[in-house]
């Protein structure tokens, strides 16, 4: 055997997998909130977008990356809005976490992995 490297299937980066799971968790929280009558039924549309974004990102599709990028940006903006408008301090953690996810997704290493 000559030591030729075998082509390895392109796997998502660990951060991409974590962000995909985060999107799926947000979708499940939205569905649970609708089922317990804490959120209006229109949240199901947003939850389905979060689920599709997470699944597209884990499959390393550009459209999944774009949907996820938009979703974490909007979640970050909502967290900042809730913090500054309603003075709800618990949204600081969500806003910072989504900011970190946004900054991770715009890295050249992440965009280079997408097909």
pLDDT digits (tens, 9 = 90+) for 38-97: 999 999 999 999 999 999 999 999 999 999 999 999 999 999 999 999 999 999 999 999
Task: Give the domain ranges of the chain.
Answer: 14-113
Predicted model pTM: 0.86
Give the integer Cα–Cα distance in Å for 35 and 40: 9
Distance of CA 60 to the CA centre of its chain: 13
Alpha helices in the chain (DSSP H): 14-35, 43-58, 62-86, 91-105, 108-113
Residues 21-40 pLDDT 10s:
999 999 999 999 999 999 99
């Amino acid at each position: 055997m000559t030591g030729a490297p075998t082509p390895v299937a392109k796997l998502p980066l660990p951060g991409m997998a974590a962000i995909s799971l985060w999107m799926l968790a947000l979708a499940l929280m939205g569905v649970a909130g609708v089922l317990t009558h804490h959120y209006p039924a229109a949240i199901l549309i947003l939850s389905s977008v979060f689920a599709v974004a997470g699944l597209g990102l884990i499959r390393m599709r550009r459209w999944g990356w774009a949907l996820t990028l938009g979703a974490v940006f909007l979640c970050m903006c909502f967290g900042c809005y809730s913090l500054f408008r309603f003075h709800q301090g618990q949204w600081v953690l969500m806003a910072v976490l989504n900011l970190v996810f946004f900054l991770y997704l715009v890295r050249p290493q992440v965009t280079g992995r997408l097909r």
